[in-house]
């Protein structure tokens, strides 16, 4: 394939937005992101206001609680950004929980004990594993032409076996947790307290978000991705290397999931083989992404929306804990929030388009 | 030495139980007049799993009895979420938090932070492998997985005269989870004394599928002469699986109780099960916490889990299944 | 083959009907939605039989206990997949089946142990199932949001509903009357009843999809909703029926499981919904709707179970069962693609 020039950004933008010059259309596009912004602002505003007025009833806005959120939300949000970028390109990754576990496992194993690699090298090894997983998912999906939902369902089960294998404790011959103490410097870098309730994870989220934004909205890759997900035939017609774009998105998704896994491992000093198996990280990430206004079918989505989707899901959960909601209701609430937010997105979006 | 430790442990448990009984008898009216003690109880995983039902029942009963405002939450098998929930409890100005030390080093920092903030911390269900030395929790209420694994292993060997010619299948829902790993280690400790081989197999949590997987494993390996289920699902379906594989007589036992397991035991289809008495794991920590917060009574470790249930003592477990058992 | 293809290319892309008319019988088999999975199944079965004859003591595939076991096991996911498949043909997903499979039989068992007459208890289960299906459909179609999201949310909502309503996670002994146990889980000659019922349900599904007007509409709305609407088909109603059928099939599977195990629990049965979709795709159904066959779903369920059986019987480490299942899912779909593309 020799496509030295390819389509220009302007051409791609014109294809993607048939009425690029039309101010109404631009307003609607902006409005898309604003749905979730309004929703999250209202929700957070209410919670904060209430907790400031009645600090004894709801301790949402306390330093300790915000610290918890500032360490947890970025992890979910970073996974969601990867899953979201991929979904914008029209594909799913059901295997993120596996990547989220395997990558920190590789880093923890190679940096300790008999391996004893320098942490930098271990991190590179982790990156390589993530890229490999993304490549595998991408190649299976694009080259073999099978739906990514099924391809990554397969690799999810496959990786579970791999994780069991790498987590075997050499003496007991059983899978085991592995301690992860990568040194104070890295710990401070990846999970240190910056000031008040702001932890390093927040800064990393901002970094990943900026990269994601730049890729999606300021780089040709983003245009290719949006077009690939939105209108594959048109993308092929104008010479977008659709397969490569998708494989790249798969790799980005794996790298973000692996990075989030490392953040989590560094924070709790340990990696466990079941890291995200039962909690269902893949479905949580998809929920955050679609709550954030991303189209499940590709071609539409914004980084800010995805992050706010993660914020909403984690905050709702946090509020349920703070108000002592019955244990059985939590997951049901996650389900209801997802459905309601998507309904809201869709209905408001449709109204605005009319 | 091991015997000494066990006796000491037993005595301590006895003392704790006496305190508890006395407390129940005398302290109740006084407690009700005070402001409620605020306790966060963290179930470590598996929302909806029947195993935790007596635990939650116990925690709620204790909360009602001792005027505790209970927040019962679930960590979804995620250690980071577990740490979050502990820290949320600190931020929420709870008086006590009751976590499970599922992943040894993961919760150390959070537990320490809770202690430093003045919260009472009592672990339940799973402890740090080094106990109180490894983690800042004040006390642990639960089962020692390795000891109980060894007990059920010993019992199967004794009842069925297993020798080195025998071979045990150890089915479990998720082979990589802590409970599976430690129980397997305990069972294998017992099996090793007779040179009995064993093999783990993952069954998942879908009962019907677990049933089929275990039957297929039995068909595939005629060497298998004994099944020890390491979790509720495989223990529940083990006798049916043996029957469907055409070998209904295979000795089987396992862990945990539920109405079906108890029915199998009473009908003689299952030899025995290790009951870790989850009711106590819910009731006692909440009670300990309430008493420490109110009266400064210091809690102590309490082993809930060496209750081997077989046909002889199973009637009550069957009768009170779903609440206390 | 090549020359014919070349000719066809020269004359411009031929229509599907043209290609079908011109194709050999072998190609026709491959073109059938259930063709690839049929070939896969036959190959696998043949391989198993040969291996079993060569190594009768190590690979006990042909032992009657093993064959019965397979026939007993296939219907478990198979029955769920029938419903999921019908819905998939209509172009929609249902992830909530994993929870429906648990909750509706639990409601039945609870009602029965509290003294309800059995038929009424069973009716209750189906009423709840139909209600959940209806709700899935109304939310999806009424608001125009993806069914993947609606049913993902419903998966969580339904899963927590039973423990929430009864207060705790629970387990209920369900001692069904002998006639029910015999009819559902006994055997008909050497064939276990669950498999007989699975075939009956498959026939019902076939009759619905291929011999009933609404079934034809299901294909139409899944393949091209706009064209279907132009043709005067009520897309809303057709999809709603498919949603309800899907929940009902999951309930039937759940009732079989509860009767077989004599117990109903609220324990979450993880990943059922994903396995059901995997079976459908291995069976040649398109994830984007409009294409598929009941035979494909039945064979897909058989293939998945056969592979699992082979893995365990050949003593591959059971510890890594998940890993082989994962490889199998991908491989099954790949074979589907390859066989179909090769004409």
pLDDT surpassing 80 at residue A9? no
> How far apart are the C-alpha atoms of A226 and C324, rounded to whole Å?
35
The answer to whether residue B176 neighbours chain A at the CB level (below 8 Å) is yes
Give the pLDDT of residue B18. 53
Interface of C with A in 304-323 (CB under 8 A): 319-320, 322-323
Q: Is A163 in Cβ contact with B90 (below 8 Å)?
A: no
Considering only the beta carbons, identify the residue of B76, B106, B181 that sits closest to A175. Answer: B181
Using CA atoms, how far apart are residues C249 and B275, in angstroms rounded to an integer?
Answer: 36
Owning domain of residue C175: 33-341
What are the distances in angstroms from CA C219 to CA C192, C224, C228, C301? Answer: 32, 9, 9, 21
Burial class from Cβ neighbours inside 10 Å (0-12, 13-18, 19+) for residue A96 reads buried
Distance to chain A for C184, nearest Cα, Å: 32
Same domain, C78 and C107: yes
Average pLDDT over residues A288-316: 92
Residues in chain B: 325
Q: Does C14 lie in the same domain as C132?
A: no
Euclidean distance between CA atoms B174 and A274, whole angstroms = 9
Task: State what percent of residues in chain C have pLDDT above 90.
Answer: 54
pLDDT at position B96 is 97
C274-332 confidence digits (pLDDT tens): 889 999 989 989 888 888 999 999 999 999 999 888 888 888 776 777 888 888 889 88
Residue A172 pLDDT > 80: no
3-state SS record for B153-211: HHHHHHHHCCCCCCEEEEEECCCCCHHHHHHHHHHHHHHHCCCCEEEEEECCCCHHHHH
Residue C251 shares a structural domain with residue C283: yes
C20 lies in the same domain as C153 = no
**Contact, C77 vs C272, CB < 8 A?**
yes
Per-residue confidence (pLDDT) for residue A3, from 0 to 100: 38
- The mean per-residue pLDDT over the stretch A27-47 comes to 78
Over 70: is that where the pLDDT of B215 sits? Answer: yes
The whole-number pLDDT of residue C19 equals: 65
Q: How far apart are CA C213 and CA C326, in angstroms?
A: 37
Decide: residue C81, CB within 10 A, 0-12 exposed, 13-18 middle, 19+ buried: buried
CATH of domain B146-275: 3.40.50.2300
Does position B72 have pLDDT exceeding 50, yes or no? yes
Claim to verify: residue C10 and residue C78 sit in the same structural domain: no
Stretch among B2-6, B317-321, C44-48, C232-236 having the lowest mean pLDDT: B2-6
Residues of C at the B interface (Cβ-Cβ below 8 Å)? Answer: 60, 63, 65-66, 68-69, 72-73, 76-77, 159-160, 162-163, 168-173, 256-257, 260-263, 265-272, 305, 308-309, 312-315, 318-319, 321-322
At residue B230, the pLDDT reads 94
Tell me if A238 sits within 8 A of A111, measured CB to CB. no
Residues of B (268-307) whose Cβ lies below 8 Å from A: none
Contact yes or no for B216 and C257 at CB 8 A? no
Chain B residues in contact with A168 by the CB 8 A cut-off are none
Among A203-207, A254-258, C79-83, C220-224, whose mean pLDDT is lowest?
A: C220-224
Please give the residue of chain C at the shortest CA–CA distance from B57: C168
Q: Which residues of B touch A72 (CB under 8 A)?
A: 80-81, 84
Q: What is the pLDDT of residues B133-186, one digit of tens each?
A: 888 899 999 988 888 999 999 999 999 999 999 999 999 988 877 788 889 999
Task: Identify which of A176, A269, A278 has the shortest CB distance to residue B105.
Answer: A269
Higher pLDDT, B322 or A217: A217
pLDDT score for B12:
56
- What are the start-end ranges of the E strands in chain C? 171-173, 187-188, 191-192, 263-265
Q: Would you list the domain boundaries of chain B?
A: 2-143+276-319, 146-275
Residues of chain B with Cβ-Cβ distance to A174 below 8 Å are 175, 181, 184-185
pLDDT band at A161 (very low <50, low <70, confident <90, very high): confident
Cα distances (angstroms) measured from residue C30 to each of B67, C13, C34, C38: 70, 19, 8, 9
Residues C143 and C214 grouped into a single domain: yes
The domain total for chain C is 2
> Residue B155: what pLDDT?
95
What is the average pLDDT across A264-280?
A: 80
pLDDT in tens, A196-245: 899 999 999 999 999 999 999 999 999 999 999 999 999 999 999 999 99
Model confidence at C9, pLDDT cuts 50, 70, 90, reads very low
DSSP code per residue over B231-279: SHHHHHHHHHHHHHTT-TT--EEEE---HHHHHHHHTTSS--EEE--HH
Q: What's the CATH number where C255 sits?
A: 1.10.3470
Please judge whether C171 and B48 are an interchain contact, meaning their C-beta atoms are less than 8 angstroms apart. Answer: no
Q: State the pLDDT at residue A274.
A: 74
> For residue C10, what pLDDT is reported?
43
Q: How far apart are CA B168 and CA B227, in angstroms?
A: 5
**B220-245: pLDDT as tens digits:** 888 999 999 999 899 999 999 999 88
* Residue C131 CB partners (closer than 8 Å, separation 6+): none
Position A325 pLDDT exceeds 80: yes
Closest alpha carbon to A62 in B216, B292, B93: B93
Q: What average pLDDT does this structure show over A174-190?
A: 86
Are C219 and C108 in a shared domain? Answer: yes
Which of A263-277, B181-195, C33-47, C230-244 comes out lowest in average pLDDT? Answer: A263-277
Residue A183 placed within a domain: yes
pLDDT of A16 above 80: no
The answer to whether residues C19 and C141 belong to one domain is no
> Which of residues A268 and A81 earns the better pLDDT score?
A81
Contact (CB<8Å) A278/B78 = yes
pLDDT over 70 at A6, yes or no: no
Subunits next to C (3 or more Cβ pairs <8 Å) are A, B
Q: Distance (Å, rounded) from C-alpha C70 to C-alpha B88?
A: 49
Of the pLDDT bands very low, low, confident and very high (cuts 50, 70, 90), residue B297 is: very high
% pLDDT > 90, chain B: 55
Please name which of C153, B73, C270 lies closest in space to residue A313, comparing C-alpha atoms: C153
Q: What pLDDT does residue B1 have?
A: 38
Q: Count the Cβ atoms, other than its own, within 10 Å of residue B178.
A: 26
What mean pLDDT, rounded, does chain C reach? 87
One domain, residues C122 and C7: no
**Residue A178: pLDDT band by 50, 70, 90 thresholds?**
confident
Angle formed at CA B202 by CA C314 and CA A75, multiple of 5 degrees: 130
- Overall number of domains in chain A: 1
Residue A266's CATH number: 1.10.3470
**Average pLDDT of chain B?**
87
Q: What is the mean pLDDT of residues B71-98?
A: 93
Of residues B251 and C163, the one with the higher pLDDT is B251
Q: What is the mean pLDDT of residues B297-313?
A: 89
* Chain A CA closest to residue C155: A335
From the options 3.40.640.10, 1.10.8.100, 3.40.50.2300, 3.40.50.720, give the CATH code of B2-143+276-319: 3.40.50.2300
Under DSSP, the state recorded for A168 is B
C244 with C327, same domain: the answer is yes
Per the CB < 8 A criterion, the answer to whether A133 and A254 are in contact is yes
DSSP state of C61: T
Count of positions (residues) in chain A: 354
Tens of pLDDT, residue by residue over C113-157, are 999 999 999 999 999 999 999 999 999 999 989 999 999 999 999
- E strand or H helix that includes residue B131: none
Conformation bin of residue B43: beta by default, left when phi > 0, alpha when psi is -120 to 50: beta
C-alpha to C-alpha distance for A178 and A110, rounded to whole angstroms: 11
Question: How many C-alpha atoms does B257 have within 13 Å on its Cβ side?
Answer: 35
Beta-carbon separation of A67 and B91 below 8 A: yes
What pLDDT, on a 0 to 100 scale, did the predictor assign at position B170? 95
For residue C20, what pLDDT is reported?
Answer: 65
C9/C97 same-domain check: no
- Confidence band for A66, pLDDT divided at 50, 70 and 90: very high
In a domain, residue A213? The reply is yes
Query: At B72, which helix (H) or strand (E)?
Result: strand B68-74
> What was the ipTM of the complex prediction?
0.86
Q: Find all residues with CB under 8 Å of B188, minimum gap 6, and list them.
A: B149, B153, B198
Do the Cβ atoms of A64 and B91 come within 8 Å?
Answer: yes
Would you state the torsion angle of the CA atoms of residues A246, A247, A253, A256, taken in this order, to the nearest 10 degrees? -130
Find the mean pLDDT for residues B39-44: 94
Measured between beta carbons, the chain C residues lying within 8 angstroms of A160 are 322-323, 326
Q: Is B63 on the interface with A (CB under 8 A)?
A: no
Return the pLDDT at C2.
40
- Residue A276: which residues within 8 A CB-CB, separation 6 or more? A96, A97, A100, A101, A261, A282, B78
Nearest Cα to Cα of residue B237 among B171, B175, B186, B157: B171
Question: At a CB cut-off of 8 Å and minimum separation 6, what does B277 contact?
Answer: B54, B143, B304, B305, B307, B325
Using the predicted structure, report yes or no on whether residue B19 has a pLDDT greater than 60. Answer: no
Tokens matching residue C177:
């009357």
Residue B234 to residues B174, B227, B261, Cα–Cα distance (Å): 11, 9, 10
pLDDT for C137: 97
| Local confidence band at C28 (pLDDT 50, 70, 90 cut-offs) | confident
DSSP assignment, residue B93?
Answer: T
Cα–Cα distance measured from residue B192 to residue B323, given in angstroms and rounded to the nearest whole number: 37
Checking if the pLDDT of B111 tops 70, the result is: yes
Which helix or strand (DSSP H or E) is residue A165 part of? helix A148-166
Q: Give the pair of three-digit tokens for residue C253.
A: 């599977």
Whether C11 and C38 share a structural domain: no
Q: pLDDT-derived band of residue B58, with 50, 70 and 90 as boundaries?
A: very high
Identify the sign of the CA torsion A80, A86, A92, A97: negative
Decide if B98 contacts B41 (C-beta within 8 A). yes
Average pLDDT over chain A, rounded to an integer = 87
Quick one: pLDDT band at residue A32, thresholds 50, 70, 90?
Answer: low
Return the bridge partners of B169, or none.
B199, B227
For residue C322, how far is the Cα from the chain centroid?
19
| pLDDT in the model for residue A328 | 84
């Amino acid at each position: 394939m020799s496509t030295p020039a390819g389509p220009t950004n302007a051409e791609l933008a014109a294809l993607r937005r048939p009425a690029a010059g039309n101010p109404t259309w631009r307003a609607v596009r902006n409005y898309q992101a604003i749905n979730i912004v309004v929703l999250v602002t209202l929700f957070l505003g209410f919670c904060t206001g209430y907790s400031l007025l009645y600090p004894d009833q709801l301790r949402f806005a306390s330093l300790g609680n915000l610290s918890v959120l500032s360490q947890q939300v970025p992890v979910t949000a970073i996974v969601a950004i990867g899953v979201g970028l991929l979904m914008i390109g029209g594909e799913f990754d059901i295997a993120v929980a596996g990547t989220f576990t395997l990558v920190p496992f590789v880093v923890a194993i190679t940096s300790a004990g008999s391996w004893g690699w320098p942490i930098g090298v271990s991190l590179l090894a982790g990156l390589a594993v993530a890229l490999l997983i993304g490549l595998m998912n991408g190649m299976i999906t694009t080259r073999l032409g099978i739906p990514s939902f099924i391809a990554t369902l397969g690799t999810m089960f496959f990786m579970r076996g791999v994780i069991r294998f790498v987590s075997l404790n050499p003496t007991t011959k059983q899978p085991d947790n592995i301690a992860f103490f990568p040194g104070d410097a890295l710990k401070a870098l990846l999970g240190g307290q910056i000031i008040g309730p702001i932890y390093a994870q927040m800064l990393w989220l901002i970094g990943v978000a900026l990269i994601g934004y730049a890729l999606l909205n300021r780089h040709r890759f983003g245009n290719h991705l949006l077009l690939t997900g939105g209108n594959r035939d048109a993308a092929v017609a104008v010479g977008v290397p659709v397969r490569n774009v998708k494989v790249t998105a798969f790799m980005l998704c794996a790298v973000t999931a692996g990075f989030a896994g490392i953040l989590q491992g560094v924070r709790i000093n340990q990696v466990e083989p079941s890291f995200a198996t039962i909690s269902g990280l893949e479905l949580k990430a998809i929920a955050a992404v679609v709550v954030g206004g991303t189209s499940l079918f590709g071609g539409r989505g914004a980084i800010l929306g995805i992050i706010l989707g993660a914020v909403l899901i984690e905050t709702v959960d946090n509020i349920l804990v703070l108000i002592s909601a019955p244990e059985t209701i939590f997951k049901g609430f996650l389900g209801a929030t997802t459905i309601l937010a998507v309904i809201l997105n869709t209905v408001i979006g449709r109204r605005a388009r009319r | 030495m091991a015997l000494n430790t066990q006796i000491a442990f037993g005595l301590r448990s006895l003392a704790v139980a006496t305190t508890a009984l006395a407390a129940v008898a005398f302290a109740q009216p006084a407690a009700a007049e005070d402001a409620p003690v605020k306790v966060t109880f963290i179930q470590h995983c598996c929302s909806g799993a029947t195993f935790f039902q007596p635990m939650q029942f116990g925690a709620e009963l204790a909360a009602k009895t001792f005027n505790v405002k209970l927040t019962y939450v679930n960590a979804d098998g995620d250690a980071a979420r577990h740490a979050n929930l502990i820290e949320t409890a600190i931020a929420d100005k709870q008086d006590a938090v009751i976590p499970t030390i599922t992943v040894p080093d993961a919760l150390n920092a959070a537990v320490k932070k809770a202690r430093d903030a003045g919260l009472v911390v009592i672990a339940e269900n799973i402890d740090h492998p080094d106990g109180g030395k490894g983690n800042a929790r004040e006390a642990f209420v639960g089962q020692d997985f390795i000891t109980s694994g060894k007990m059920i292993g010993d019992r199967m060997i004794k009842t069925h005269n297993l020798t080195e010619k025998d071979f045990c299948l150890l089915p479990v829902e998720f082979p990589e989870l802590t409970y599976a790993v430690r129980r397997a280690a305990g069972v294998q400790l017992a099996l090793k004394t007779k040179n009995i081989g064993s093999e783990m197999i993952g069954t998942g949590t879908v009962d019907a599928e677990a049933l089929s997987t275990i039957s297929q494993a039995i068909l595939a390996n005629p060497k298998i002469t004994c099944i020890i289920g390491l979790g509720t699902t495989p223990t529940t379906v083990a006798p049916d699986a043996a029957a469907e594989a055409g070998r209904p007589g295979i000795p089987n036992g396992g862990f945990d109780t539920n109405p079906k397991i108890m029915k199998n035991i009473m009908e003689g289809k299952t030899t025995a099960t290790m009951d870790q008495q989850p009711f106590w794991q819910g009731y006692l920590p909440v009670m300990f916490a309430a008493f420490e917060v109110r009266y400064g009574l210091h809690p102590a470790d309490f082993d809930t889990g060496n209750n081997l249930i077989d046909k002889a003592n199973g009637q009550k477990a069957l009768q009170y299944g779903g609440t206390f058992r | 083959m090549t020359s014919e293809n070349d000719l066809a290319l020269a004359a411009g892309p031929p229509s599907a009907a043209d290609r079908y008319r011109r194709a050999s019988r072998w190609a026709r088999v491959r073109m059938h939605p259930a063709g690839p999975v049929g070939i896969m199944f036959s190959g696998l079965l043949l391989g198993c039989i040969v291996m079993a004859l060569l190594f009768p003591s190590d690979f006990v595939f042909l032992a009657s206990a093993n064959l019965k076991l397979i026939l007993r096991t296939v219907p478990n996911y198979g029955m769920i997949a029938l419903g999921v498949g019908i819905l998939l043909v209509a172009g929609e997903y249902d992830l909530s089946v994993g929870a429906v499979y648990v909750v509706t039989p639990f409601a039945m068992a609870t009602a029965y142990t509290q003294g309800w007459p059995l038929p009424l208890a069973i009716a209750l289960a189906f009423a709840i199932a139909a209600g959940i299906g209806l709700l899935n459909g109304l939310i999806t179609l009424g608001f125009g949001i993806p069914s993947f999201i609606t049913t993902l949310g419903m998966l969580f909502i339904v899963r927590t509903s039973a423990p929430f309503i009864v207060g705790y996670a629970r387990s209920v002994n369900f001692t069904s009357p002998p006639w029910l146990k015999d009819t559902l889980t006994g055997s008909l000659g050497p064939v276990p009843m669950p498999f007989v019922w699975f075939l009956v349900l498959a026939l019902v599904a076939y009759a619905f999809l291929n011999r009933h007007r609404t079934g034809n509409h299901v294909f139409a709305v899944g393949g091209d909703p706009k064209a279907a609407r132009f043709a005067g088909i009520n897309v809303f109603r057709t999809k709603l029926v498919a949603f309800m059928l899907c929940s009902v099939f999951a309930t039937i599977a759940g009732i079989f499981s509860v009767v077989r195990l004599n117990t109903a629990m609220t324990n979450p049965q993880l990943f059922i919904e994903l396995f059901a979709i995997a079976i459908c795709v291995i069976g040649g159904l398109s994830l984007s709707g409009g294409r598929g066959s009941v035979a494909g779903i039945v064979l897909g369920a058989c293939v998945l179970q056969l592979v699992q059986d082979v893995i365990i019987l050949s003593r591959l480490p059971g510890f890594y069962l998940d890993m082989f299942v994962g490889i199998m899912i991908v491989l099954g779909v790949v074979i589907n693609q390859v066989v179909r593309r090769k004409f």
